[in-house]
Amino acid sequence: MSDASRITVSGEQPYDVVIGTGVLGELPALVGEKARTVAVVHSADLPELVRPVLDVLRGAGYAVHALPVPDGEAAKNVEVLAGLWSDFARLGVTRSDAIVGVGGGAATDLAGFAAASWLRGVRCVLVPTTLLAMVDAAVGGKTGINIAEGKNLVGAFAPPAGVLCELGTLATVPREDYISGLAETIKAGFIRDPRILELVEEDPEGAASPSGPHTRELVERAVQVKADVVGADLKESGLREILNYGHTLAHAIEKVEHYAFRHGHAVAIGCVYAAELGRLAGRIDADLVARHREVFASVGLPTSYRADAWPALREVMNVDKKTRGATLRFVVLDSLGECGRLAGPSEELLQAAYLEVAR
């Protein structure tokens, strides 16, 4: 018997995020009775984690096919996606069948987009295996791949049929990757739920470990923040933009680093940068900026980046998804838990804020 908790993401296509230990048995119910064939798209380096998923699905009577993809961001490209389309055709995946994505955020992004684009949309269930994927990538219906010009520039809004967060898989995540996932969790604390920050501040070492006393609560709270936001605004027409707090600089760092830089590490730096922008624009005070640095640093996340990288970063920012026409837009805080927008900041302001995070 699982100890699952459920968080519902509302909207036109509501679905549940199931969180707990021993919850894989709930997977067939999410896949549904109509499916006969289930294609399991999974990170190639996760044989021990994908095996129980395959066993549960086969035990439920589905014709199950494992489709390994490269690990990490290497999976999120056109060639890998086209390979999956060919696999779906070979396996005879129909509109009544299902795709299950197992792995980190890159694998779930890819699986979601493959499902959204195959036959104009087939049922998709996501089984995130990293903290980053559980609290961010797998929840919200954003799917996509990368191209040479930028990250996630090609994609679709396609809510999954369900998300299954088996907390037991977190023990297999390398420490640096787990800590990277904490960045999105902490971000959720700054934009919406300050209790997350308090839990991290009370026990930073516990927060940095999947065996910590508050792991489940941190996951649940971060997922609830995302569920509340995307349930009200699936397609990022307004409110959902707040989830991009820190991401304008973060995505630029990832691009400059050729996606070899951990997403969460980039987000931590990006959030500090956004806080500095907010301070310099008169939106928040220095104490709240300092809290950004302290909370991220307390769990081992970076808060600064190379001083000489600014010209390259600034160029990449022009392709940011929040840009409207020629106007660069940033999500900033107006106070703890309350977000606003900063549109068209001056070049002087942008550079001054970067000098605060440069090393």
List, for residues 30-82, the tens digit of each pLDDT value.
999 999 999 999 999 888 899 999 999 999 999 999 999 998 889 999 999 99
Q: Say if residue 155 carries a ligand binding annotation.
A: no
List, for residues 90-101, the tens digit of each pLDDT value.
999 999 999 999
Tell me the average pLDDT across 254-262. Answer: 90
Active site residues: 120, 142, 184, 226, 236, 240, 244, 247, 251, 263
- Res 324 pLDDT > 60: no
Q: Say if residue 169 carries a ligand binding annotation.
A: yes
Q: Say if residue 105 carries a ligand binding annotation.
A: yes
Q: Say if residue 109 carries a ligand binding annotation.
A: yes
Q: What does CATH list as the number for 175-357? A: 1.20.1090.10
List, for residues 151-188, the tens digit of each pLDDT value.
788 999 999 999 999 999 999 999 999 999 999 999 99
Q: What does CATH list as the number for 5-172? A: 3.40.50.1970
Domain locations in the chain as residue ranges: 5-172, 175-357
Query: In this predicted structure, what is the pLDDT of residue 64?
Result: 98
Q: Say if residue 187 carries a ligand binding annotation.
A: no
Share of residues in the chain with pLDDT > 90 (%):
83
The chain-wide mean pLDDT, for the chain, equals 93
Using pLDDT thresholds of 50, 70 and 90, give the confidence band for residue 1: very low
Q: Say if residue 308 carries a ligand binding annotation.
A: no
Q: Which residue has the higher pLDDT, 238 or 346?
A: 346
- Res 233 pLDDT > 90: no
Query: In this predicted structure, what is the pLDDT of residue 235?
Result: 64
Print the SS3 string covering the chain: CCCCEEEEECCCCCEEEEEECCCHHHHHHHHCCCCCEEEEEEECCCHHHHHHHHHHHHHCCCEEEEEEECCHHHHCCHHHHHHHHHHHHHHCCCCCCEEEEEECHHHHHHHHHHHHHHHHCCEEEEEECCHHHHHHHCCCCEEEEEECCEEEEEEEECCCCEEEEEHHHHHHCCHHHHHHHHHHHHHHHHHCCHHHHHHHHHCHHHHCCCCCCCHHHHHHHHHHHHHHHHHHCCCCCCHHHHHHCCHHHHHHHHHHCCCCCCHHHHHHHHHHHHHHHHHHCCCCCHHHHHHHHHHHHHCCCCCCECHHHHHHHHHHHCCCCCCECCECEEEEEEECCEEEEEECCCHHHHHHHHHHHEC
